[in-house]
Amino acid sequence: MSEKKKIIFLCTQNSARSQMAEGLMRKLFGEEYEVFSAGTNPYRVNPFAIKAMEMEGIDISSHGSKSIDDYLGVEFDCIVTVCDNARENCPFMPGGEKYLHHNFTDPAAIKGSDEEMLSGFEKVRKEIKDWLIESFGKGTS
């Protein structure tokens, strides 16, 4: 059996989009990929991201926000930026065979009631899931 490929999802705070991408990638393609996420300016995992992922049957409640600096020197097969800010501010990471970018809406920027904010996180979670399936193959839907 071949070794799993390493993939990292990068965002600004590693609090929502990259965390959701990490959890979804593990569920969809965990047999093929060792999955990581980090931020250029890590903060904390957003509680709405945790809740939106729970609704997908994925528990990210034990995740913590990590800095891209924690992974400098690690060689990844695939480096994915999920926001324009991370793409513009990410230091060069050697070893990436594949670099991908998709700017997902920042669900943390949504203002409103808890229900409206959770709905925004669910929408972005679905967009990330659909993009991962389209980009990496046929996952479970």
pLDDT of residue 73: 83
CB count within 10 Å of CB 94 equals 10
Q: Which of 7, 28, 52, 90 is catalytic?
A: 90
Q: 57 lies in a domain?
A: yes
What is the pTM (predicted TM-score) of this model? 0.90
AA letter at 35 = V
Active site (annotated) includes residue 78: no
pLDDT of residue 88: 63
Q: 141 lies in a domain?
A: no
CATH number of residue 92's parent domain: 3.40.50.2300
Domain region containing 70 = 5-136
pLDDT of residue 84: 72
pLDDT of residue 96: 65
Q: How far apart are CA 59 and CA 53, in angstroms?
A: 6
Secondary structure (DSSP) of 34-77:
EEEEEESS-----HHHHHHHHTTT---TT----BGGGGTT---S
AA letter at 53 = M
Q: Which of 7, 83, 93, 117 is catalytic?
A: 83
Torsion-angle region of 137 (φ positive above 0: left; ψ -120 to 50: alpha; else: beta)? left
pLDDT of residue 87: 60
pLDDT of residue 95: 62
Cβ contact 118:48 at 8 Å: yes
**In tens digits, what is the pLDDT along the chain, a chain of 141 residues?**
569 999 999 998 999 999 999 999 999 999 999 999 999 889 999 999 999 999 999 999 999 999 988 988 888 999 999 987 666 666 556 666 788 889 999 999 999 999 999 999 999 999 999 999 999 986 444
For the chain, how many structural domains are there in total? 1
Contacts of 90 (CB under 8 A, 6+ apart): 10, 40, 68, 79, 81
